[in-house]
Structure 1
Amino acid sequence: MNTPQDSSLGREVAYPSQYDAGLLFPIPRAAGRAEIGVADDALPFIGHDRWQAYELSWLDARGKPCVATATFTVPCDSPHLVESKSLKLYLNSLNSERFNSDEAARERIAIDLSARAGADVAVALGLPEMVEAEAGESIDAQDIEISDYGPPNPSYLSSDQAQIVEELLFSHLLKSNCPVTGQPDWGSVVLAYRGPRIERTGLLRYLVSFREHAGFHEQCVERIFQDILTFCQPSQLSVEAHYTRRGGLDINPWRATPGTESPIALREVRQ
């Protein structure tokens, strides 16, 4: 049956490792409307249900993770609504799915949601943004092939001892998993350092190798700090992660070499 009691809501459910549109659980609107004397074929109102998704990710054709925010607009005259936990599980089932383009991912989501709602669902994607982008450099746009999603692999890290620089780098592609619940944890990493120039391709591959790692937010940041300090040998280093919310809380661990000034508290769009 398609009642809330038949859905995954309130039940312990393992997070999916493969794409599965069947996770989406439609619930007929008619039952709830009958309770208030409204018939589906004679609605006294117009409207829609707008969903904002902040934890959306997939892989590109070469295996590099992509992240985005998304807005889903479900018309109120659709015969079904989609139960929220099932939507969360469905979105997480996309984490290891490959798409040739952002548009292909958007189209797939729109098709799946429309099929369950019984009407056309509009889907719009947005790219993550961070205030630091004006002063720093994103390493996410590199056109590279990635196939290593864990455990964390510091052997990717290297630096050019002949080039001494001071710069700020950031990536929105950090993902790990809660060691207790298995829930995915999403974050952006801000790396400020002085020392030998860090090689970008290896740094990105290293951060992506956390994708299936089980570790608390604070532990992941400390591991990143220690690995970069060991393998890249900067004289000064600051690592901060902006994690998305869990239960109304977002965690932003910061670790740095002694004497480093604390970073300004900033929020990125997925938070």
Structure 2
Amino acid sequence: MNTPEQSQLGKNSAYIDQYDASLLFPIPRATKRAEIGIADEGKGSVPFFGADLWSAFELSWLNTKGKPQVALAHFTVPCETPNIVESKSFKLYLNSFNNTRFADASAVRDRLRSDISEAVWRGSDRPSTVGVRLVLPEEFDREPVHEIDGLSLDRLDLECTHYSPAPELLTAAFDEAPVSEVLTSNLLKSNCLVTGQPDWGTVQISYSGPQIDQAGLLQYIVSFRNHNEFHEQCVERIFMEVWRRCKPIKLTVYARYTRRGGLDINPFRTSHPSALPPNIRTARQ
């Protein structure tokens, strides 16, 4: 089983510029899910739906004449996959396209879909595919920038004293009528599980049920500030702790993290089947 410590994170790495799918480094989701009480066992038996939305801003290859081509790429990785791909290995893998010739953009897209699908579904008895969409230069101007919708928790003037996850801060009004709210914050920050480098994010929490105390929720989001965990793991931890402590009828947690190394990762988890949000970057991304 691959562990984060075995990856290329925090290590000097040779940049391979010829195609090499073996650079992808899958890490099982099950270990970190077990920490938050999810007995996944790699079978997709998780108490939520959703996906990880990746965007790659540094994708290039050569056409058959050796002329460089560029594109943006959007990836959709279902949360049921038994593995995530460690982000540095993803970057090294994309770099391996730089001096490799492909017939056209469709061939690049198909190769990306095949390789990433194999990595994230490795070990599964029912593998599927990931979504891959390339955005070519003539479409760049149609890539929007938009902030996540909702009522900003950051408007609250309050004292923050917890900088490691503190689920005890989460409370809800169980004796009052249920509400439906969409709440956001730009104050989500966590750190890379291996290197400790900061990861900056915006989070949206949509729910129906007992009204969640907004001050406590913001303090809880801030409490991730010194926490070391990958993006996907942080969002699943937030989802499970809000779900258990505030007992909403419906819950969705969506975070958009700023890019590093030309990649951003945006996990989306929801208690009920729903359409994925459009993969639209925020101003900070």
Normalising by structure 2, we get a TM-score of 0.48
Query: How many Å apart are 1:259 and its aligned residue?
Result: 1.9
Structure 2 gaps of 5+ residues are 1-10, 13-144
Select 2:264's aligned residue among 222, 239, 250: 250
Q: Distance in 2 between matches of 1:270 and 1:263?
A: 18
Deviation of the 1:132 alpha carbon: 3.3
Aligned residue among 140, 157, 173 for 2:187: 173
Residue 201 (structure 1) aligned to one of 203, 215, 234: 215
Aligned partner of 1:164 among 169, 178, 185: 178
228, 232, 235: which is aligned to 2:246? Answer: 232
What displacement does 1:130 show? 4.9
CA contact (8 A) 2:148 2:282 kept: no
2:177 aligns to what SS in structure 1?
Answer: strand
* Match among 147, 150, 155 for residue 131 of structure 1: 147
Alignment of 1:65-214 (within 5 A): 130-133=146-149, 136-150=150-164, 152-161=165-174, 162-214=176-228
Give RMSD over aligned pairs.
Answer: 1.9
Query: What amino acid sits opposite 1:238 in the alignment?
Result: T
Cα offsets for 1:34-82 (capped at 9, x unmatched): xxxxxxxxxxxxxxxxxxxxxxxxxxxxxxxxxxxxxxxxxxxxxxxxx
For 1:118-152, what per-residue CA distance to the aligned partner results, in whole angstroms no more than 9, with x for missing partners?
Answer: xxxxxxxxxxx95333xx200001111112111x0
Is contact 1:175–1:187 with CA below 8 Å preserved after alignment?
yes
Shift of 1:267: 1.5
Q: Partners of 1:260 and 1:235 in 2: how far apart?
A: 15
Partner of 2:45: none
Name the residue aligned to 2:278: 264
The AA in structure 2 aligned to 1:132 is I
1:144-179 per-residue CA deviation (whole Å, 9 max, x = no partner) reads: 1112111x0000001112131111110000001101
The runs of at least 4 aligned residues of structure 1 exceeding 4 Å deviation read none
Matches of 2:262 and 2:172 in 1, distance apart?
A: 38
Contact 1:238 1:260 in 2 (8 A): no
Q: Distance in 1 between matches of 2:155 and 2:247?
A: 25
The C-alpha deviation readout for 1:84-128, integer Å capped at 9, x for no partner, is xxxxxxxxxxxxxxxxxxxxxxxxxxxxxxxxxxxxxxxxxxxxx
SS at match of 1:222: helix
- In the alignment of these two chains, the number of paired residues is 143
Aligned residue type for 1:131: E
- Greater RCO (Cα-Cα under 8 Å, separation 6 or more): 2
Unpaired runs of 5+ residues, structure 1, are: 1-10, 13-128
What whole-Å deviation, never above 9, does each CA across 1:215-254 have from its counterpart, x for those lacking one?
A: 0000000000000000110111110100000110000001
Give the letter for the 2:170 counterpart: L
Is the aligned partner of 1:220 residue 2:234?
Answer: yes
Question: Highest CA radius of gyration, 1 or 2?
Answer: 1
AA aligned to 1:220 is C
2-side partners of 1:147 and 1:188: how far apart?
Answer: 20
Q: Which amino acid aligns with 2:180?
A: E
1:261 and 1:226 map into 2 onto residues whose CA distance is 20
